[in-house]
Amino acid sequence: MLDLKRQYRAIHQELTEALEHVLETQQFILGEHVAAFERAAAEQLGVAHALGCSSGTDALWLALAGTGIGPRMAVVTTPFSFLASVSSILRAGATPVLADIDPVSFNLSPAAVETVLDGKRGVGVRAILPVHLYGQCADWTSFGRMGRERALILIEDAAQAWGAEWQGAKAGGLGDAAAFSFYPTKNLSAAGDAGMVTTNSSELAERVKMLRQHGMRRRYYHDELGWNVRMDGFQGAVLTVKLKYIDGWNEARRALAARYGVLFVKAGLAEEGPYPRRRAHGMCGTSM
């Protein structure tokens, strides 16, 4: 269903030249190509810091560990997501607490999170990790208020949401930190695994840089136990090229989605409300 070659054919010359430059400079881990992508990404998202890493899953762990989430703490997140949303919480040593989703957007429900926080399961919760599912921003008006009133850390799982916005602010700059994935199926994709942490906190950015390199601030001086989750130069080069086109690609996706919407209505396959209310030939009706 996803033909990656179509995108490659349109920009293959730029990609080839970018990859050749990595080979010429021999900067295979981090280096100038990753730094260039980090600067351009931060500017495009309107955030102070953008830090490349080896995958979206590692970006989630870095965001959690960077903000101090760890043992004897809990994080509220959604059950309707890829495993990494929960496994990253466990990897940080914390406890995942699941709250229900909104029946319209399928994103984490602020009302359900409030119920969790006010009940027994809310004991020990230090953070909320909403997922911007399918590129739709979670209700950040509600989550932002919740974070302020309850002194909770807010981390965006923005793996699928490069370029998405909430009331004029782009995903990646809404919470205390955000995690992006550049897996090949994402709208902004690498030529393999890659990810990114974004934040407006200089202190958090410095800590993420340290954690992604075995806990080093100075070479061979390990301040704490980090991990090896750096972005390689090839991915930085590929993503720098693609970053120039992502806004146009996103607009094309929106246009295609709108066209599908029109056709679904015309064919009688679209209904108002959170769930289909009738069965159509060949469809499961209210089953999901």
Domain match, 239 and 249 both:
no
- 166 has which bridge partners? 169
User: Which long-range contacts does 98-107 make (Cβ < 8 Å, 24+ apart)?
Assistant: 102/139, 103/274, 103/275, 104/274, 105/133, 105/136, 105/138, 105/139, 106/80, 106/133, 106/134, 107/78, 107/131, 107/132, 107/133, 107/136, 107/137, 107/138, 107/139
Strand, coil or helix: 50? strand
Q: Which helix (H) or strand (E) holds 21?
A: helix 4-25
284 and 236 housed in the same domain: no
Same domain, 229 and 274: no
> Domain count of the chain?
2
CATH label of the domain that carries residue 20? 3.40.640.10
Residue 2, pLDDT score: 79
Give the range of the structural domain holding residue 101, as residue numbers without chain letter: 4-244
Over residues 99-126, the mean pLDDT reads 96
pLDDT for 288 beyond 60: no
**Torsion-angle region of 154 (φ positive above 0: left; ψ -120 to 50: alpha; else: beta):** beta
In this predicted structure, what is the pLDDT of residue 283?
38
Same domain, 253 and 145: no
- pTM beyond 0.75, yes or no: yes
163 & 43 share domain? yes
Residue closest to 131 by CA, chosen among 167, 61, 82, 87: 82
Tokens 């466990």 belong to residue: 90
Q: Is the pLDDT of residue 280 over 50?
A: no
Q: Residues 187, 88: one domain?
A: yes
pLDDT of residue 270: 81
- Confidence category of residue 284, pLDDT binned at 50, 70, 90: very low
Asked whether the predicted pLDDT for residue 131 surpasses 60, the reply is yes
Same domain, 203 and 116: yes
pLDDT value of position 287: 31
Lowest pLDDT segment from 68-72, 158-162, 215-219, 233-237: 215-219
Does residue 288 share a domain with residue 174? no
pLDDT tens digits along 181-191: 999 999 999 99
- Please tell me whether residues 227 and 157 are part of one structural domain: yes
Task: Identify whether residues 237 and 251 lie together within a single domain.
Answer: no
Q: Are 199 and 208 in contact (CB under 8 A)?
A: yes
Looking at the structure, do residues 56 and 39 belong to the same domain, yes or no?
yes
Tell me: do 99 and 142 sit in the same domain.
Answer: yes
Q: What is the pLDDT of residue 102?
A: 94
